[in-house]
């Protein structure tokens, strides 16, 4: 294949960016945990340093531990120093950083927390706007949300109160609904921000622009021109230190119910009338509503599940999944899934979407390939034969951040030969300043922008869609469905079955 030809980028200054301007208090539950200290607090620190935090704003850490403000600041400072953070904004940051013990099992501690928040709000003039971030295990979401509601912190009257939760949103449809009911005891849907970090990836956001800000692709974006769509999130890492969570979760709940479904809907949705959170989320919901249910009597041709066996990754031997620390030796948890999905609507009728994700595969690669149909007739058949390779469009998220269009061209020289050539757009080229996924979502919550967050109706529809396959995996016979694949490969060989039977 020829080297990709860079395309010329014309800069246009059409970029709008707003800084959040509502003063607020950010209350971080699980403030001493890994997520808070390694991701959330560093992101808030970065936003402050780059003048993107509203003014005034304060941060109140909360967790079950008994700590003074000073002890909490010291802990965070140590993490920042360990990670070689530039400390030039530390004094400003730490002067806004506070701590209070809050234990959902002890409602008195929430009453105290509410009092503390109000005192600091009066002191700093943050006006009663509150962002509650739950950096805690999902099992604690319901209790914390209910306690917040109980002490009146969910209420909005001339101020806003926002609740941020991370996936997983439940374990199945029933538990997701139960969670949602608990959150909605005190918070309304417009107050809830369900994070999916895939949506905060710029290259994922770029897909919407690519599809709907260009006139030339959309006419081809349908069953008449597209043969199949392939959505892949392969990882070379194994379960790492997360077996306690992962062994009860598996790849379908960990990757498909959220990230993969988001990628699918962005690829398949209709253009909304305007770039506005609920218009976009409406269109995604319509895609989920149109998913063809899995044919449970022919699951083998629509779903392949796998689990990694021992193998080699980058020249190093790695153990099988069941030999990983804290994994049950007879675990039948899938670490790989490939599925063929159809969307029953006018645009996509008959076009298979192949969705694949797995751990311990040969490489870390996240991309979407759109394979177009072959030319209907080859006028070159007398010299080249009938077959001409079809066009392919790749939206690459990792490791490259690129859009690549592959097409056929004549090889240079006297002969009549074809070659594949690729036109390439490198996302980083021409870009300026970029935010990490957490910086971006926190900023959006501060601005009250729901575009990058899940809405409960979509969460429910995705659980509903996956329920039959989850039941298959969870039942005692689930292990029979599991294909072992060697770590460092492209997954189970059985994947070809998805293609055998269109
Ligand atoms: C997380 C999953 O949501 O996404 C992990 O829990 C997975 O198991 C990760 O490794 C993948 O994210 P990324 O951004 O590295 O593709």
Tokens of residue 223, six digits: 């069953």
Q: How far apart are CA 110 and CA 127, in angstroms?
A: 20
Task: For each of the domains in the chain, give its residue range(s) and CATH number, in order of start.
Answer: 18-166 (3.40.50.720), 199-436+455-500 (3.30.360.10)
Q: Specify the residue with its C-alpha closest to ligand 1, atom 12.
A: 198
**Residue 238 three-state SS:** coil
Nearest to residue 417, comparing CAs of 388, 374, 391? 388
Using the atom order of ligand 1, give the atom closest to the CA of residue 398. 16
Q: How far apart are CA 434 and CA 291, in angstroms?
A: 34
The answer, yes or no, to whether the previous bond of 168 is cis (omega within 30 of 0) is yes
Q: Give the active site residue among 259, 302, 450, 483.
A: 259
**Residue 91 exposed, middle or buried by CB count within 10 Å (0-12, 13-18, 19+):** exposed
Contact 98, 62 (CB under 8 A): no
* Over residues 315-329, mean pLDDT: 96
Mean pLDDT of the chain: 93
From the CA of 161, how far away is ligand 1's center (Å)? 29
> What percentage of residues in the chain have a pLDDT greater than 90?
82
pLDDT over 80 (residue 344): yes
pLDDT digits over 394-421, tens only?
A: 999 999 999 999 999 998 888 888 999 9
pLDDT of residue 10: 54
From the CA of 178, how far away is ligand 1's center (Å)? 25
pLDDT of residue 13: 55
Q: Specify the residue with its C-alpha closest to ligand 1, atom 5.
A: 254
Q: How far apart are CA 188 and CA 23, in angstroms?
A: 21
pLDDT over 90 (residue 222): yes
Q: Is the CB of 166 under 6 A from ligand 1?
A: no
pLDDT band of residue 2 (cuts 50, 70, 90) is very low
User: Tokens 């917040």 sit at which residue?
Assistant: 148
At residue 134, what are phi and psi to the nearest 5 degrees? -95, 90
230 is annotated as an active-site residue = no
pLDDT of residue 382: 85
Pairwise pLDDT comparison (478 vs 276), residue with the higher score: 276
pTM metric for this prediction: 0.93
From the CA of 23, how far away is ligand 1's center (Å)? 32
**Partner residues linked to 356 by β-bridges:** 232, 338
Q: Specify the residue with its C-alpha closest to ligand 1, atom 14.
A: 198
Residues 6 or more apart from 79 whose CB is under 8 A from it? 37, 38, 41, 42
* Over residues 42-60, mean pLDDT: 95
* Over residues 309-335, mean pLDDT: 96
Helix-strand-coil split of the chain, %, nearest 5: 40, 25, 40
């Amino acid at each position: 294949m020829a080297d990709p030809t860079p395309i010329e980028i014309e800069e246009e200054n059409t970029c709008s960016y707003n800084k959040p301007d509502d003063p607020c208090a950010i209350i971080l539950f699980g403030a001493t945990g890994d997520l808070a200290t390694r991701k959330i607090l560093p992101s808030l620190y970065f936003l402050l340093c780059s003048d993107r935090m509203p003014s005034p704003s304060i941060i109140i850490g909360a967790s079950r531990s008994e700590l003074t403000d000073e002890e909490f600041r010291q802990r965070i400072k140590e993490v920042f120093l360990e990670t070689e953070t530039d400390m030039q904004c530390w004094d400003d940051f730490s002067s806004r950083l506070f701590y209070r013990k809050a234990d959902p099992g002890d409602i008195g501690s929430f009453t105290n927390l509410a009092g503390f928040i109000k005192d600091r709000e009066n002191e700093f003039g943050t006006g009663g706007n509150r962002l509650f971030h739950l950096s805690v295990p999902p099992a604690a979401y319901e209790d914390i949300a209910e306690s917040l509601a109980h002490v009146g912190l969910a209420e909005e009257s001339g101020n806003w109160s926002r609740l941020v939760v991370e996936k997983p949103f439940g374990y199945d449809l029933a538990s997701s609904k139960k969670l949602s009911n608990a959150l909605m005891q005190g918070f309304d849907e417009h107050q809830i921000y369900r994070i999916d970090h895939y949506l905060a990836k710029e290259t994922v956001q770029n897909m919407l622009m690519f599809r709907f800000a260009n006139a030339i692709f959309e006419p081809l974006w349908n069953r008449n021109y597209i043969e199949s769509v392939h959505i892949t999130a392969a990882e070379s890492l194994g379960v790492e230190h997360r077996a306690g969570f992962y062994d009860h979760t598996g790849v379908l709940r960990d990757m498909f119910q959220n990230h993969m479904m988001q990628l699918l809907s962005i690829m398949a949705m209709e253009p909304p009338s305007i770039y506005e959170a609920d218009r976009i989320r409406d269109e995604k919901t319509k895609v989920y509503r149109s998913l063809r249910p899995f044919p449970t009597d022919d699951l083998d041709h629509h779903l392949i599940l796998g689990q990694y066996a021992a193998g080699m990754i980058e020249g190093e031997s790695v153990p099988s999944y069941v030999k990983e620390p804290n994994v049950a030796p007879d675990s039948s948890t899938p670490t790989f899934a490939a599925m063929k999905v159809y969307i029953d609507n006018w645009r996509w009728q008959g076009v298979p979407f192949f969705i694949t994700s797995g751990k311990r595969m040969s490489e870390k690669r996240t991309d979407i390939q759109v394979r177009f149909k072959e030319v209907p007739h080859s006028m070159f058949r007398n010299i080249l034969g009938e077959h001409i390779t079809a066009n392919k469009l790749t939206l690459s998220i990792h490791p490259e951040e690129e859009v690549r269009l592959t097409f056929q061209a004549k090889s240079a020289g006297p002969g009549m030969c074809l070659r594949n050539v690729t036109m390439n757009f490198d996302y980083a080229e021409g870009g300026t300043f970029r935010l990490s996924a957490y910086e971006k979502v926190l900023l959006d919550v501060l601005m009250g922008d729901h575009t990058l967050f899940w809405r409960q109706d979509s969460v429910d529809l995705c659980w509903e869609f996956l329920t039959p396959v989850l039941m298959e995996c969870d039942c005692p016979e689930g292990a029979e469905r599991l294909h072992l694949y060697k770590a460092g490969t492209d997954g189970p060989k059985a994947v070809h079955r998805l293609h055998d039977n269109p």
